[in-house]
Amino acid sequence: MKKWIIEVTAITDAEDLDPDDLDEHGECLVDGAYRLHTDGDLAESDDPQEAALDVFHSIVPIGTLEDYDIIIRKETLADAGDGWLRRNLGLHEVVPTPPALDF
C-alpha cells in the first residue's frame, strides 16, 4: 500500500476561479489537503504517483487545473489525524469512475 497527501492551493483570486470550484458564498471548494491510499495495481504501477493523481481527479473535479498548484507527496508520521484535512479519500485499488454529469 502507498500512502499519499495531495495538497491543493488556489493560485488565482477567488473571483477568477471557475464557478464550479466555488460554493454558494464564493469560497473555493477545492483547495486544501487530501489523504489518499492506493493498493494493488495502482500502488505497483510504473508511476504510482501519477496513478494516485488519476484517482484524485476522478473523485475531486477541478474546473480549471491552471488555477491551482497541486503537490502530491508521501504521507509521513507528521500527517497523523484528520482534523487538518479537507477530505480523506480512502483506499483505492482502481481508478473510480467519475459520477455522471447532469446537463
- Which of the four pLDDT bands, split at 50, 70 and 90, describes residue 99? low
Report the C-alpha gap between 3 and 74 in whole angstroms.
6
Report the C-alpha gap between 24 and 98 in whole angstroms.
23
For 4, what's the count of Cα atoms within 13 Å in the CB-facing half-sphere?
Answer: 28
As a whole number, the mean pLDDT across the chain is 92
Residue 102, pLDDT > 90, answer no
* pLDDT tens readout for residues 70-81: 999 999 999 999
* pLDDT tens readout for residues 29-65: 999 999 999 999 989 999 999 999 999 999 999 999 9
Residues 6 or more apart from 57 whose CB is under 8 A from it? none
* pLDDT tens readout for residues 80-98: 999 999 999 999 999 887 6
Per-residue confidence (pLDDT) for residue 17, from 0 to 100: 95
- Per the rule left: phi > 0, alpha: psi between -120 and 50, beta: everything else, 81 is left
- Which of the four pLDDT bands, split at 50, 70 and 90, describes residue 14? confident
